[in-house]
Amino acid sequence: MPATPARGHGTPAGPVPPKPQNGLGTAALTLGVIGVVLGMLVVLFWLSWLPALLALIFGIIGMVLARGGRATNRAVAITGAVLGVVGLLMSAGGGVLTFTTVADKVREAEARADKADKADKERTERAAEARASASASAAAEAARNLAFGDTFTYDNGLRVTVSAPEPYDPGDGLVFGHRKGNRAVLMKVTMVNTGPAAVEVAKMGWPSVTSGGGAEAELIVDGTGRTKVIVDSLAPGRTAVGAYALSLPPTAAGGRIEAAFPPDRFRPDGPRWNGELD
């Protein structure tokens, strides 16, 4: 008969199976969720890459363990790895979006700065042009507002000098243009042709004299022979001197008078000779 096994000594037990290593898969899922949630937040997306990367790594390791039979949560590890990839993509997309937005804002700021600089430059140029125009206008005004005895040169080279008016006595003979009580003056005009062509000085007429009060003087024609109206054509290099007697109303006595020549009389940019009437 076979021997009866001794009491207390049973059949030896087999090897104990290892405990499943499910921690990495669970960690991958948790980190994947955190990475995705952070990726959806506008201000925290830049933090999502780290938990997402760890979720991908732990998820891959968890899948390897599950394939070897050392873990039982293969689906959890796969989900964690997938969420890790999604989180990385969201982090990269957020980075690209942020870079693009910042670049656009920088370009807008540069465009505004360029526009402001351009506007400042245009204002500066306009101000400079205005100053230059004002200076040119002031120079032109000074050039056309002359004192008696000054010389003005026309574009054709004709130089005209108007002397200060002198007292004039038309006499008791035949006189035209002078009334009793008016004041008679004699004004001499010197013309020099410095241009290359002859000038019809007869077209200049005689001085148009206006008092400070706006009263206009009249040309006096008498028989004394002391007056001379320039009626000749002035050749280049030639000089002509005219003497014009003018009758001023009593209101002009002791006031300021202004002399001009037709056709410049009605031109605002024509020369004007000014001075006080003694």
* DSSP notation for 115-153: HHHHHHHHHHHHHHHHHHHHHHHHHHHHHHEEETT-EEE
Could you report the per-residue pLDDT of 23-62, keeping only the tens digit for each?
A: 888 888 898 898 888 888 766 777 788 888 888 898 899 8
φ, ψ for residue 218, nearest 5 deg:
-110, 145
Say yes or no: 51 and 154 in one domain.
no
pTM score of the predicted model: 0.51
Q: Which two tokens stand for residue 51?
A: 């938990």
For 55, the enclosing helix (H) or strand (E) is helix 49-67
Residue 205's contacts (CB-CB under 8 Å, 6 or more residues apart) are 261, 262
Residue 169, pLDDT score: 87
Q: Residue 36 has what pLDDT? A: 86
Residue 60 lies in a domain: yes
Query: In the prediction, which pLDDT does 1 show?
Result: 46
Confidence of residue 266 (pLDDT cuts 50, 70, 90): very low
Q: Could you say which of 95, 123, 143 is where a domain stops? A: 143
Confidence of residue 276 (pLDDT cuts 50, 70, 90): confident
Residue 223, domain member (yes or no): yes
Where does residue 139 rank: exposed (0-12), middle (13-18), buried (19+ CB within 10 A)?
exposed
- Identity of the amino acid at 269: D
Task: Work out the average pLDDT over 150-173.
Answer: 87
Residue 236 pLDDT exceeds 90? yes
- Cβ contact 65:21 at 8 Å: yes
Contact 242, 175 (CB under 8 A): no
- From 95, 111, 143, the end of a domain falls on 143
Q: Are residues 125 and 158 in the same domain?
A: no
Rounded to an integer, the average pLDDT of 212-227 is 81
Q: Are residues 96 and 170 in the same domain?
A: no
pLDDT at 82: 93
Pair 225, 170: CB distance under 8 Å: no
Percent of the chain with pLDDT strictly greater than 70 = 85
Quick check: is 98 in a domain? yes
Q: Is pLDDT at 123 greater than 80 in this prediction?
A: yes
Name the band, by pLDDT with cuts 50, 70 and 90, for residue 173: confident
Query: Residue 11: inside a domain, yes or no?
Result: no
10 Å CB burial of residue 246 (0-12, 13-18, 19+) is: buried
> Domain boundary residue among 96, 124, 143?
143
The burial class, CB within 10 Å (0-12 / 13-18 / 19+), for 172 is: exposed
More confident site: 18 or 226: 226
In terms of domains, do 45 and 130 share one?
Answer: yes
Let me know if residue 8 belongs to a domain. Answer: no
Residue 16 belongs to a domain: no
- Distance, in Å, from the CA atom of 193 to the CA atom of 188, rounded to the nearest integer, reads 17
- Indicate the length of the chain as a whole number: 278
Give yes or no for a cis peptide into 263 (omega within 30° of 0): yes
pLDDT value at 16 more than 70:
no
Question: What pLDDT, in 10s, does the model give residues 71-93?
Answer: 888 899 899 889 989 988 888 88
Chain mean pLDDT for the chain = 81
Dmax (CA) for the chain in angstroms is: 192
Are 108 and 208 found together in one domain?
Answer: no
Domains of the chain: total? 2
Same domain as 164, residue 258: yes
How confident is the model over 185-214, as pLDDT tens digits? 898 999 999 999 998 876 666 777 887 667
Q: How far is CA 221 from the centre of its chain?
A: 60
What pLDDT sits at residue 97?
Answer: 83
Domain co-membership, 156 together with 261: yes
pLDDT of residue 172: 77
Claim to verify: residue 26 and residue 131 sit in the same structural domain: yes
CATH number where 256 lies = 2.60.40.1240
Please give the average per-residue pLDDT across 233-247, as a whole number.
89
Does one domain contain both 49 and 119? yes
183-193 and 166-167 beta bridge pairing: antiparallel
- Give yes or no: residues 136 and 77 share one domain: yes
Q: Does 49 reside within a domain?
A: yes
pLDDT band at residue 271 under the 50/70/90 scheme? confident
Domain that holds residue 51: 21-143
Measure the CA dihedral 190/195/198/200, to 10°.
-50
Evaluate whether residue 39 is within a structural domain: yes
* 130 and 153 housed in the same domain: no
**Same domain membership, residue 216 and residue 152:** yes
